[in-house]
């Protein structure tokens, strides 16, 4: 690893990190997401600039992003919960499967090479972006299905969120709005999944 980065390039990297940190905090509070979609690309370029080995570069970016999401997700969840906006019943019914999914995601990441992690991240992020750009407001029903759907979906959220280093907010918000929940309620509830994913996920990458 080379730390002798030119002053101009170093200033650019520091600026990028500060901007990414600010946006991560802002999005965590506003949208209930962890911010990994911003942090991972920035960290990946920063680690490349200081010549972190390619074999671990993506792993380090994802793991570091998860660690950064811990305080932002905790603060966001506390603020939303204090206002009574979080659906604690839904959160509680999916908590254990999400954590189990995080554990599986960390194991998969341990054995995945750099190219696989990048492929998962880029593929999932592209699908999410396309849905937001071209999708429409879908309504699947009035009530969110119970078990075993919640367990299966929670496990999926835990696995994919860990591999992408996101707080899972995009998946939880989509689920709740598909079943007629107000977007404000969905955003607030999704903030509660951030700590469930980021804390064990970061420990797993450590």
Across the chain, which has 206 residues, the per-10-residue mean pLDDT values are 57 68 62 62 75 77 81 84 90 93 86 75 72 66 88 92 78 86 87 87 82
- How many Cβ atoms sit within 10 Å of the Cβ of residue 124? 18
Alpha helix stretches (DSSP H) within 113-192: 114-134, 149-164, 169-178, 183-191
Q: What is the pLDDT of residue 1?
A: 47
Interatomic CA distance for residues 90 and 78, integer angstroms:
16
Q: What is the pLDDT of residue 64?
A: 83
Q: What is the pLDDT of residue 35?
A: 60
- In sign, the C-alpha dihedral spanning 74, 77, 79, 84 is negative
Q: What is the pLDDT of residue 55?
A: 75
Q: What is the pLDDT of residue 88?
A: 93
Q: Quick check: helix, strand or coil at residue 141?
A: coil
Q: Which residues contact 68 (CB under 8 A, 6 or more apart)?
A: 21, 24, 35, 39
């Amino acid at each position: 690893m080379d730390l002798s980065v030119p002053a101009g390039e170093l200033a650019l990297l520091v600026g990028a990190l500060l901007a990414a940190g600010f946006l991560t905090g802002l999005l965590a509070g506003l949208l209930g997401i962890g911010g990994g979609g911003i942090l991972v690309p920035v960290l990946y370029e920063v680690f490349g600039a200081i010549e972190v080995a390619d074999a671990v570069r993506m792993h380090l970016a994802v793991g570091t992003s998860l660690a950064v999401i811990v305080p932002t997700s905790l603060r966001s969840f506390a603020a939303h919960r204090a206002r009574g906006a979080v659906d604690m019943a839904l959160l509680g019914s999916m908590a254990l499967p999400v954590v189990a999914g995080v554990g599986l995601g960390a194991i998969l990441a341990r054995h995945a090479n750099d190219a696989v992690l990048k492929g998962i991240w880029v593929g999932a992020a592209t699908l999410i972006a396309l849905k937001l750009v071209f999708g429409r407001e879908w309504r699947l029903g009035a009530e969110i299905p119970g078990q075993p759907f919640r367990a299966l979906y929670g496990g999926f959220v835990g696995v994919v969120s860990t591999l992408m280093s996101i707080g899972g907010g995009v998946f939880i918000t989509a689920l709740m709005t598909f079943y007629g929940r107000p977007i404000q309620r969905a955003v607030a509830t999704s903030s509660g999944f951030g700590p469930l994913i980021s804390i064990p996920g970061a420990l797993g990458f450590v």
